[in-house]
Amino acid sequence: MKKREKIMKIVFAGTPLFAVKPLEKIIERGYEVVGAVVQPDKPQGRKGVLTPPPVKRFAAERGIPVLQPEKLREDISALRALGGDVMITCAYGQILTQAVLDLFPLGVWNIHASLLPKYRGASPIQSCVLAGETETGVTVMKTALGLDTGDMLLALKTEIGAAETYGELSERLSLLGAEAVVKALPLIESGNYTPEKQDEARASVVRKITKEQAKIDFSRSADEIVNLVRGMNPEPAAFSFLGELRLNVYRAEAASRPEGTENAREGEILSDGPKQGFLVACKGGAVKLTEVQAAGGKRMRGADFLNGRKAEKGQVFSC
C-alpha cells in the first residue's frame, strides 16, 4: 500500500462489542487513532459491578486515549484537544450536536447496521430479524443532525440465514462494518466521492427493543414466533409462562400439528413425548421449541425439557 504523505488522524466513537472490529481494522490499516470516545462505565450483573465497555477495554490495550463524557456536548474542549481530522462513529449511543460535527474538517461518519434508509434508529439488527427480512447490511453515512438521515457514502449487503439469530447476525455485521469503514476511509481522506441522498419515501425508524416485546404470543403464526425467538436471542430472550414457570426460548422452528390436535388451543402443548419435540399450537399450525431455559436453570433442548416432565401435553402457555 502506498504510504500516505500525511496520516489522517481519526477519533473513533463507539461503545459495545459490535464496534470493536471496525476500530481494530482501522488500526490494522495504519491509520492513526488519536482518541476513542466511549459511553461511561456502567454497573453490570447482580452485584452491579462498574464495568468498562468493550471499546474502552480494547482502546486501553492499544494505548489509545479514552474519553467517557456523560454528555459529549458538554465536553467539546477535550474532544477538540484530540486534534482529529475525522470522526468515525459506530454504535456510540449519544446523539451528536452541530458543535461536535463542526470540529472535524473531514466530517463525522457513521457505520450503521442496516441498509439505509430502512431501519434507522436504535435497534436495526434486531428489528430486521424480527421483521423476517432476508437481506441486510451496513451503511457508511455522513452524520447529520437528524436520526441516521445523512448522505450515504457506501453500503455492503449480506443475506440473513433462515435460522440466524440477532447475536449471530450482529457478529457478522460487525465484521462487515469493519470491511466497510476501511473501504470508506480512503474516499473520505481524498475527498473523491459523491454521497447519495437517502430516499425519505423508503425510510423507517426503529426504537430500542423492550423486554415486554419479547413475550411470545401463541395467537401469532409460527413464522412470526420463530422470528421473535431469533430476534431476541441472546437478549432479552423470548419467553412465556407455563403457570408460574417462566420459560425462555432461544431456538424454535415452524412445525405441523400432529394428527388429532387440529382443535387444540393456541399455546397448548401438543407433544405426547420428547420424540415429537416440544410442540406448541399457534395460529395456523404449530411451533417446535428446540432450545429453552427455565427460570434459574440452564439452557437445554426442548425435547429434554419435556423428558424431565417439566411440561405435559394439554398444558397451555399464557398468551
Per-residue pLDDT reduced to its tens digit, 123-155: 999 999 999 999 999 999 999 999 999 999 999
The predicted model gives 274-302 an average pLDDT of 95
| Residue 55 in grid coordinates | 471499546
| Res 53 pLDDT > 70 | yes
For the ranges 12-26, 138-152, 231-245, 304-318, the lowest mean pLDDT is seen at 304-318
pLDDT value, residue 3: 47
Q: Write down the mean pLDDT value for the chain.
A: 95
Average pLDDT over residues 70-76: 91
- DSSP H helices, the chain, are 20-28, 54-61, 76-81, 98-101, 124-130, 166-190, 222-231, 302-307
Average pLDDT value for residue range 48-61? 96
Average of pLDDT values for 297-311?
A: 89
3-state secondary structure of 136: strand
Percent of the chain surpassing pLDDT 70:
98
Q: What is the predicted pLDDT for the residue at 308?
A: 83
Q: What is this structure's pTM?
A: 0.94
Alpha-carbon Rg for the chain in angstroms: 23
> Which domains can be identified in the chain, with CATH numbers?
9-206 (3.40.50.170), 211-307 (3.10.25.10)
Q: Taking 60 as the threshold, does the pLDDT of residue 36 lie above it?
A: yes
| Helices then strands, each counted (H, E), the chain | 8, 16
More confident residue, 306 or 15: 15
Does the pLDDT at position 236 exceed 70?
Answer: yes
- pLDDT at position 5, please? 56
The pair phi, psi for residue 280, each rounded to 5°, is: -130, 135
pLDDT of residue 74: 86
Tell me, rounded to whole angstroms, the distance of Cα 166 from its chain centroid.
6
In single-letter form, the type of residue at position 12 comes to F
**What is the rounded average pLDDT of the residues 179-184?**
99
Residue 309 has what pLDDT? 72
Determine the average pLDDT of the residues in 250-262.
Answer: 96
Does 2 score more than 70 pLDDT? no
Q: How confident is residue 311, by pLDDT bands cut at 50, 70 and 90?
A: confident
pLDDT tier at 193, thresholds 50, 70, 90: very high
Pairwise CA distance, residues 107 & 76, whole Å? 15
Q: What is the rounded average pLDDT of the residues 88-104?
A: 97
Mean pLDDT in residue range 159-174: 99
